[in-house]
C-alpha cells in the first residue's frame, strides 16, 4: 500500500512511469530530479505521509532507497 503511494508521488513529481521506478534511481538517473524538484519531492512526501524530514535526512537523499530508509525509520511501512 505505502509503496504504491510512495511510487505515485515519485511518479507525479519526477514525471516517470511507476513501473520504471527502482531503488537505485536518483538525481543522476532521473532527468527531472533537479535540485528544485528534489525539494518538491521531499515536500510532497512530507504532506503525503504526514511526516517531517530533518535537514540531515533531506541532505542525505541520493536515491529512492534513501527515501524508503528515512520513511521506514519514521514508522512508515514500505512494501517491496
Partner 1 sequence: MPEKNSLSDYINKSNEITKVFDKKIKISLLSSFTINGLSEILKVKSAERHVSCIVYEAPYNQYSQEILNENSDLYKFLPDITFLILDTRNIFGEIFRFPYSISHLEKVKIVENKINEVKNLLDKYIEKSNSKIIVTKLNIPSFSPNGIFESKVEYNFSNMIEDFNKQLTENYLNSENIFVYDFDKFVAKNGEDNIFNYSQFFFGDLKISMEFLPALGQDLMKYVIGYLGITKKCIVLDLDNTLWGGIIGEDGFNGINLGPEPPGNAFMEFQRVLLSLHQRGIILAINSKNNFEDAIKVIKEHPHMILREEHFAAMCINWNDKVTNMKQIIKEINIGSDSLVFIDDDPVNREFVGSIFPEILVVNLSDDPSSYVLEIENLIDFSVLKITDEDRNRGKMYSKQKKVIELEKTSVDLQTFLNQLNLKISIKDVNEFTLPRVSQLILKTNQFNLTTKRYQQNDIQEMIEDSNFLVTCVQVEDKFGDNGITGVFIIKKENKNEWRIDTFLMSCRIMGRDIEKGIMTHIINKAKENNVQKINADFIPTQKNKPIENFLSDHDFKKEGQSWTYNIKSKIKFPEYLRIELE
SS3 for 23?
Answer: coil
Contact flag: residue 45 with partner 1 (CB under 8 A): no
Contact flag: residue 56 with partner 1 (CB under 8 A): no
Residues near 56 by Cβ (< 8 Å), separated by ≥ 6?
none
Residues 72 and 76: their CA atoms lie apart, in Å, by 5
Contact flag: residue 13 with partner 1 (CB under 8 A): yes
* Segment 16 to 35, residues that bind partner 1, using CB under 8 A: 35
Binding site for partner 1 (CB under 8 A): 12-13, 15, 35-36, 39-40, 43-44, 47, 52-53, 55, 58-59
Amino acid at each position: 500500500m505505502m509503496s504504491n503511494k510512495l511510487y505515485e508521488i515519485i511518479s507525479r513529481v519526477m514525471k516517470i512511469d511507476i513501473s520504471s521506478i527502482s531503488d537505485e534511481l536518483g538525481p543522476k538517473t532521473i532527468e527531472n530530479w533537479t535540485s528544485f524538484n528534489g525539494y518538491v519531492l521531499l515536500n510532497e512526501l512530507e504532506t503525503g505521509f504526514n511526516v517531517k524530514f530533518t535537514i540531515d535526512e533531506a541532505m542525505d537523499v541520493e536515491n529512492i532507497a534513501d527515501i524508503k530508509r528515512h520513511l521506514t525509520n519514521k514508522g512508515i511501512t514500505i512494501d517491496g
